Every structure is written in structure tokens, then in C-alpha cells.
Amino acid sequence: MERPAWAPQGIDLTVPSVSRIYDFYLGGSHNFEVDRQAARKAMEFMPGLPKIMQANRAFMRRAVRFAVGEGITQFLDIGSGIPTFGNVHEVAQAASPEARVAYVDHDPVAVAHSQAVLAGNDRAGIAAADLRKPQDILNSPVVTDLIDLGKPVALLLVAVLHFVEDADDPQAAVATLRDAFAPGSLLVLTHASYEGIPLPEQQAGGTVDVYKNIKNPLIMRSRDEVTRFFEGYEMVDPGLVAMPEWRPETPLAQEDPFAFSGFAGVGRKA
């Protein structure tokens, strides 16, 4: 198989990757045929997947602007994926030139492409690390260079926790990060759920099976299970809601029904 110039050496081009599938849904170009096949297979069950990803990105941008409005200029984006238009550093640095952004991902393509995009931006960087090992993230030189843990941080866990199985204790990882942050820090989170999807659960389950088959299980959690990630945080209005319902900037009537799948919320550490 032809290896594109942007693909780091040593990655297996025959295995689909969650971040490259996401890139495909968003109309990006950093994905392989194996990723596109998995994405198209998942879309056979849930044709609205790209709409869900777009709603995710739109929520993330609103939440970043909200954080800057609250005086926060440090962002830690874990599971950041492949940079696409309107990434965290672009939104944050447009709102505040002071903003610093540390990205974290364990996908080599996401890391390599982020390094290329961020070259020359001394207020943004990417660390190769995994949410399941939060201490590695906190100790990463990229993170320690960019983030001052003595001041409030906005932690972004956007569309990442649903790829961490219960056996890996995502709850503990989120708590470890929370405990490292100063009061006033924000948790910005989205999570997949069967709740809100405009399809029978059985049909949506077909998409879940596609991710299971590519060894990247998609864990659908209930509202109560997602709420638990906010322990130690006070929810910011309007609470845990469908993504388009979090401080919308456009009329909700214009949104695709699939955009209301799953949950989004922002919490503030007391």
C-alpha cells in the first residue's frame, strides 16, 4: 500500500484508527482506505455520524470561547485527534492571544500531523500520551512547559471517554486530572450514548459493533454514568444536555436530529 508523505513510519496502514475515522467524518484528508471502509460501514447503521461529529466540534468551539470569557487561557485537550479547521488553539488564540494549548493523543498520525500544524506556534504543542495514564500526561514535558497547574485549566475530554472501557477505569483517570487542577478549572466533556439517537437502539448497536470489530470499542454510557465524570465539579448552566442545547448560537430548529445524540456539559472545579 502506498504510504502518504504525511504518514509516520512504523504505523500499520491495514488497521483502522478512531482519530482517522473521525477525520473522515469531518471531511478531512488524513485517513486511509481502511478508515474510510470502517466509517462507511458504521454509517450504514447510523447515517448521521458526520452530523454528530460536527455537533461535537461546534460544542467544543463554544465551550472554548466560554472558557476564555471566564478568564481561562490554558487548555489541555486529551484525545485531540487530527487537527482540522477550527481546532482548540485556533479558537482559543483568536479569543485570547495569551491562550496556551497542550494537545494529547496516542495516535501516531494525530501526533505527527499536530506537530506539523503547530510548528512555529510556541503557545501550543502535542504530547504522545494516553488518557488511561493520566500521570504520564501531567508529567509530559509538553504539558509542563505549557500549563501552569497553579492556575485554572480547561480540560477538554471531547468524544474520547467513550473509547475507554470500564475495565480501564476512566473515572479514576478523570479524578486524577481533576485533583491536579486549581480551583476554577473547567471540565469540557462530550460522550456518546444511546439516549437522543433518532434510531432504535438495536440499529445504533450496529455502529457500536463496527468499532468493536476494529478493536476500538465504543462504550455507550447513560446520562447517570456520564454525570459521574463531573464529580468534584459544579455543572455550568444548562447542565448535561444534548450538544446543540449547550449555549446555542443558532436556532435549534436548524439542527439535524442526529446532532442531539449523546451528551455535552461543562463543570467548574470548586
pLDDT tens digits, residue range 105-158? 999 989 998 998 999 999 999 999 999 999 999 999 999 999 999 999 999 999
- Block residue for cell numbers 472545579: 269
In a domain, 144, yes or no: yes
Is residue 201 in a domain? yes
Does the residue 177 lie in any domain? yes
pLDDT digits (tens, 9 = 90+) for 15-57: 999 999 999 999 999 899 999 999 999 999 999 999 999 999 9
Q: Is 69 inside any structural domain?
A: yes
pLDDT of residue 1: 66
User: Is there a domain that residue 93 lies in?
Assistant: yes
Q: Is residue 4 part of a domain?
A: no
- Domain range for residue 153? 18-269
The answer to the question of residue 1 being in a domain is no
Helix axes 88-95 and 49-69, enclosed angle (nearest 10)? 30
Q: What is the CATH number of the domain that holds 69?
A: 3.40.50.150
Neighbours of 124 (CB within 10 A): 25
Number of domains in the chain: 1
Q: What is the pLDDT of residues 62-113, one digit of tens each?
A: 999 999 999 999 999 999 999 887 899 999 999 999 999 999 999 998 999 8
Residue 194: what pLDDT?
A: 97
Question: Tens digit of pLDDT for each residue in 212-221?
Answer: 999 999 999 9
C-alpha cell at 30: 488524513
**Residue 7 in domain:** no
